Amino acid sequence: MRHLVTLEDVSSAEIERIYAITEDLKTKFQAGIREAILPGRMMALLFEKQSLRTRVSFESGMVHLGGGSLMLGEDAGFGKRESIADFTRVLSEMVDVIVVRSKKHSTVEEVAKYSSACVVNGLTDLAHPCQALADLYTLKEHFGTLAKRKLAWVGDGNNVAVSLARGCAKVGMQMSICTPPGYEMPADVIARVREQSPDAEIIETTDPFVAVEGADAIYTDVWASMGQEGERDKRLKDFADYQVNAKLMGAAKSGAVFMHCLPAKRGEEVTDEVIDSPQSVIVPQAGNRMHVQKGILVWLLTSE
């Protein structure tokens, strides 16, 4: 049984396979063709956090593929009425894939441990693999190739940054990670990426202008994510010098694009001038969540 809990679960060749499926499905979708590749398949969504993009993209995508979905909220009793093991064993008798959006990464790992259905990580505190795969696919569409391109991350060394580091290493991209002191990506994650991908090019810095030098894309995220609201005032001060504005975009390579996983706090991590500029690819980036996740679902449910 295959799961997608982190990008450690997929090889470089499997990412290429997912992207090939994605490209085929997206081309047909844009031509008005919604191929029912997964008729009768059922997907359950276990969400402990709010969601717009993840929920709608998964639910719409599964319908396009001929399957169905169930959104399981608090009334299902996930993690409360019974153990996660019992809940998961029963649920996976009835569905083909379980998407989990959880406050703790260990929860997704526990669901995957007991599930007889495929499990996909829809976001945890440690990883956001579907977001990263859609981000890199967006760059592939924009530039034509990924190898030797450079992505500059400016902001918190959070779950999205972690998944992008793993993804960049697997597709041959260089990644510079620029965070304020105290907000670095976990050292064990960096070490693990370098262990799995010895040729990975990862640069760590606290200087945004060093990070964006030669970059094809600049990526940022909110300074205080869901669950960090109590740290908001401190984070606003700590991240004040890490805003992506016109001056910083101008220091990247000519033709560089701006990326954000959304929702954005305009005027904080990014200015209106940047997020609304022709360099911004945030809308196709968000749209590709659906197309790439359709590729993931087909790959998971049809691969032998």
Annotated active-site residue in 96, 125, 216, 221: 221
Q: Indicate the annotated binding residues for carbamoyl phosphate.
A: 101, 128-131, 261-262, 289
Which residue type, as a one-letter code, is found at position 197? Answer: S
196 in catalytic set: no
Mean pLDDT of the chain, nearest integer: 96
DSSP 3-state percent helix, strand, coil across the chain (nearest 5): 45, 15, 35
> pLDDT (tens digit, 9 = 90+) per residue, 150-191?
999 999 999 999 999 999 999 999 999 999 999 999 999 999
243 in catalytic set: no
Annotated active-site residue in 261, 285, 291, 293: 261
User: What are residue 101's DSSP bridge partners?
Assistant: 47, 123
> pLDDT (tens digit, 9 = 90+) per residue, 208-266?
999 999 999 999 999 988 777 888 999 999 999 999 999 999 999 999 999 999 999 99
Query: CATH second-level architecture of 131-285?
Result: 3-Layer(aba) Sandwich (3.40)
SS3 assignment, position 170: helix
Domain ranges of the chain: 3-128+286-302, 131-285
* Predicted confidence (pLDDT) at residue 74 exceeds the cutoff of 80: no
**Residues whose CB is less than 8 angstroms from the CB of residue 262 and which lie 6 or more positions away in sequence, other chains included:** 53, 282, 286
Pick among 3.40.50.1370, 3.40.1800.10, 3.60.21.10, 3.40.50.720: CATH of 3-128+286-302: 3.40.50.1370
SS3 assignment, position 178: strand
Annotated active-site residue in 64, 235, 289, 291: 289
User: What are residue 42's DSSP bridge partners?
Assistant: 68
118 in catalytic set: no
Q: Are 263 and 285 in contact (CB under 8 A)?
A: no
The 10 Å CB-count burial string (b at 16+, else e) for 159-169 is bbbbbbbbbbb
| pTM as predicted | 0.97
131 in catalytic set: yes
Q: Indicate the annotated binding residues for L-ornithine.
A: 159, 221, 225-226
3 in catalytic set: no
221 in catalytic set: yes
> pLDDT (tens digit, 9 = 90+) per residue, 76-107?
888 788 999 999 999 999 999 999 999 999 99
Tokens standing for 2? 């295959």
* Spatial distance between the Cα atoms of 185 and 93, rounded to a whole number of angstroms: 37
